[in-house]
Structure 1
Amino acid sequence: MTISFTGAHDNRLVGDEFFAGEQAARASAPTALLLHGGGQTRHAWGGTAERLAGRGWRAIALDQRGHGESDWLASGAYGFRDFGADARRVAQVLMQDGGRAPVAIGASLGGLASILALGDDPQAAPCFRALVLVDIVPQMDPRGVDRIQTFMMAQAREGFATIDAAADAVARYLPHRPRPRSLDGLRKNLRRADDGRWYWHWDPAFLDGPGSVNADWRESEAALHRCARAIRVPVLLVRGGSSELVTPEAAQAFRELVPHAQFIDVAQARHMVAGDRNDVFSNAVESFLDRLDQGL
């Protein structure tokens, strides 16, 4: 079902909740908060959320600020710490609702938001009881960042005449993936404006506005390293073996920063690990969560 939360700036955050058990057991079920990457929406997590629900979890896939059906902020407050503050606010609500902190599963932007949510307020109790980082660490390869953002902004303001045109752009960007027979999944990442054109379902100010993720990068990078160093909850880092964003050296640096972190390198996957090798990704996450519930 669709649910909503209030973010750090009184902004509305929309999510989908997946739970397969009896409604009476919902409050006591372990909870996972799934946070998508930049330029995505909550629908990126559909398959993973359904698998978690089938294993007795309450899975909540959230549209982050400026994405999907969540509020686009007129103030342009899209710094990394703004996303972190939203994640912390939602986690606190879930903690009050279920009696214990949720697990965060964060891809790219969602992972950075989770790190900041955990550590940006050192006086607060941990808002997550465990953390899964999907192809993201504080030290990102700037060449990969530039490539990803160049694709995202190429037609962010111009839009596409048709969904097929958007599919063509994605196919050129991801030539290693078979082109899907159905465009229903892509449609969920687009919105049709009054001019009849199709636009990505995220606010371009997220990348090029005065308060964008790019505007506060130096300050945020320092905060991310500080917060990562302070993480004490269980952590799983899932890296795409051919990631354009997380180099092997950066992954190793993170493991030195967070020595207790578990690590898996997913062969034949790039930055979009869950989309490239969803079977391997989901198995790794489920194994991690099983060990977490067993106290291992």
Structure 2
Amino acid sequence: MEGDEVFDVSEALASLPSPKWPSPQKDLFIGELERLLPLMDELKEQATPISIKDVKLDAPVANPSKLINAPINYRAHIEETAADEQIAYGRDMTKSIWHWGLFLKANSALSGVGIPIRLRYPGRRTDHEIELAVIIGTECKGVTREDALNYVAGYTIGLDITIRGPELQSFRKSADGFAVLGPWMVTADEIEDPGNLDLELSINGQLRQKANTRDLVYDVPRLIEYAASMYTLYPGDVIFTGTPEGVGPIEPGDHIEAWISQIGTLNAIVNKEILPLPRHDPVLDEIEAQEA
């Protein structure tokens, strides 16, 4: 990307190693990114620029081994969650990430901004959550906070779409298309300090969320250290760093605009149709009983 133009450097992918069974638990492109960058620069000089309006933006990382999420990682979000029963659903939400740990979203939830978000569970509240997303570039485990940023390939904007309800987070947040990344990845060398980035999210032009990553309870290096103490992190793995206050519902047809300084703007559309699901749902039954 350069301004509003895209340069096709796909020929660089021809130099990737051919995987054999068992396939490696990593994104091959992200794993080879440092080696490929000079080649991509050469190819860019020969490429014909294409307007960004004429391309479909997929997720900037295609094959992460896992999507790692940090819950309750902004202090003001802890307060709003504890005060809103529709978010908390009876849980004690006065605690923070050091009590909750991390959780995983299904890889099949991964999506780019070119595919509309399809809501599930008619009658349930589904919320937007803007997050700084960190893409791991080098395999690591047991890393220290001081060395953590050396293992980052880049950063992007993440939308952690969330159905509210009593189920575990990994279920309610893992529907297809509920982990939106984009609009592109900014390589780590372009962002000196991921701990001082402004975030904003608007729905249909109305500002909902506004914060700065300096308000994170666990900052980016500490999150990497925390995750790597439990999991081996592979190239392409994505860490969603948590969402600030201001989360709220999205509806069919909504336009989501998410912006993070030094990265850009992610524009996403909510599909106008809600995917129907089996009706055995105690939450829906309770809602209908109250309405009756």
Q: Return the TM-score normalized by structure 1.
A: 0.30
More strand by share: 2
Larger helix proportion of the pair: 1
Q: Which gives a bigger RCO, structure 1 or 2 (Cα 8 Å, sep 6+)?
A: 2
Decide which structure has the larger Cα Rg and report it: 2
User: Normalising by the residue count of structure 2, what TM-score does the alignment of the two structures yield?
Assistant: 0.30
